[in-house]
């Protein structure tokens, strides 16, 4: 399972569930999505290699945006998303600057989470 698949699974089917339900999108929201929803995107990849060049582990960093109609809604969704990720041992790092869409005046709470994966041994 890729890092993105792990993040998405935790946010959609995790326990506890978030108020975004299945509106968890990678890279961009769908045009018909209504608030609240979550967008996540991979922002960094680090590959750790052994002495012989073999891949030992990969760290992917994801930025998670929790969009709500107002500050309270985005903060609530953020708390739910953090809890869902922590429930599967994906521990979010610090927050990024909050987001704002000035056209429709909605807000996002933004944080990052690292996902470590190791290659499967055949």
C-alpha of 74 from chain center = 14
Q: What is the pLDDT along the chain (122 residues), one digit of tens a residue?
A: 899 999 999 999 877 788 899 999 999 999 999 999 999 999 999 999 999 999 999 999 999 999 999 999 999 999 999 999 999 999 999 888 888 787 777 899 999 999 999 987 54
Task: Using a cut of 0.75, tell me whether the model's pTM lies above it.
Answer: yes
CA distances from 3 to 16, 40, 101, 104 (A): 20, 11, 27, 31
Residue 27: CB atoms within 10 A of its CB come to 9
Instruction: Enumerate long-range contacts of 105-108, CB under 8 Å, 24 or more apart.
Output: 106/35, 106/67, 106/68, 106/69, 106/70, 106/74, 107/67, 107/68, 107/69, 107/70, 107/71, 107/73, 107/74, 108/65, 108/66, 108/67, 108/68, 108/74
Among residues 74, 104, 69, 77, the alpha carbon closest in space to that of 21 is found at 77
């Amino acid at each position: 399972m890729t890092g993105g698949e792990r993040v998405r699974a935790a946010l959609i089917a995790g326990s506890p569930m978030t108020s975004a339900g299945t509106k968890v999108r990678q890279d961009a929201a769908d045009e018909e999505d209504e608030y609240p929803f979550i967008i996540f995107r991979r922002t960094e990849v680090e590959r750790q290699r052994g002495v012989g060049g073999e891949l030992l582990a990969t760290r992917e960093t994801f930025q998670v945006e929790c969009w709500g109609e107002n500050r309270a809604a985005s903060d609530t969704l953020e708390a739910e998303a953090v809890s869902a990720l922590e429930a599967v041992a994906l521990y979010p790092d610090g927050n990024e600057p909050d987001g704002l869409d000035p056209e429709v005046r909605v807000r996002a709470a933004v944080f990052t989470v690292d996902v470590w994966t190791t290659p499967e041994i055949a």
